Amino acid sequence: MTVTKEPEALAAPKPEDLAALLLESHRPPRPSALSVSLTFGWRAVLKIKHVPEQLFDVTAFPVMMILMFTYLFGGALAGSPGEYLQYLLPGVTVTSVVMITMYTGVSVNTDIEKGVFDRFRTLPIWRPAPMVGYILGDLLRYVLASTTIVLVGLILGFRPEGGLVGVVLGVAVLVAFSFAFSWVWTMFGLLLRSEKSVMGVSMMVLFPLTFLSNVYVNPGTMPGWLQSFVNVNPISKLVDAVRALMAGGFNGQAMLWTLGYAILFTVVFGTWTMRLYNRK
């Protein structure tokens, strides 16, 4: 004969026991700023992996730019497409990469609309990490765009006198400047209400900067009032620095201007971005 016993009622835990348990629990250390930023950067790269159509602007658009300008305007501006290509390719590389930087702000605005940032703000992590991660992830876009343009240029007849070292140094300067310039678009991504607004404002800023520069023609052929703007345009200074490195030289003045602009964009717009991120 089996005797079934009633289970004994469990005693309610005492408040002091719960407090002691919580106080004695071991918490994992907070991740470092670098590791968190790299994690968010990897998140941005995974977006490209799952939506490879995003690479259209990184590959097809730069190829169209270099083919169109080389064969449409090369004969009129430099006598032949081959000669014009030597002048044009560093500038087109700068233009294509700088145009891509606006997608950083678009990605920020999209995540805000989806509510993902609400989750990020509750995590015990370094506050700027999500913003830095966006920009780090976009560095892959910049490198792919630069590599695509240089390879197409080599096929078309571009021969940089600086060789491989000059090209790599030029691309490195361009990528570093683009990292700083991306802070402008993270600010707009937080400030504006929709993705279309971010793209509209970005194009309104980028078109004058890229076309009113020394990318396509020598500024000496422009009116004096326009030369005044072109000579202080950050894109013009960046093009001068990259063009000199690819040609096997070094333009110290242009490099100092480029470094100064990069620091200015990072300090001003990076600080403004974090103020908006903390208060939004």
The SS3 call for residue 2 is: coil
79: left (phi over 0), alpha (psi -120 to 50) or beta: left
Query: What does pTM read for this prediction?
Result: 0.81
The pLDDT of residue 33 is 82
How high is the pLDDT of residue 10?
59
Neighbours of 154 (CB within 10 A): 13
CA–CA gap between residue 94 and residue 97 (Å, rounded): 5
Torsion of Cα atoms, 220 then 226 then 228 then 230, to 10°: -70
Confidence at residue 5, expressed as pLDDT on a 0 to 100 scale: 53
Q: What is the pLDDT of residue 198?
A: 87
Mean pLDDT, the chain cut into blocks of 10 residues (280 residues total): 55 70 66 85 80 72 85 82 89 90 84 80 82 84 89 90 92 93 90 85 90 88 89 94 93 94 93 82
Write the CB contacts of 220 (distance below 8 Å, at least 6 apart in sequence): 227
Residues contacting 103, CB < 8 A, separation 6+: 54, 57, 138, 141, 185
| Predicted local distance difference test score (pLDDT) of residue 245 | 94
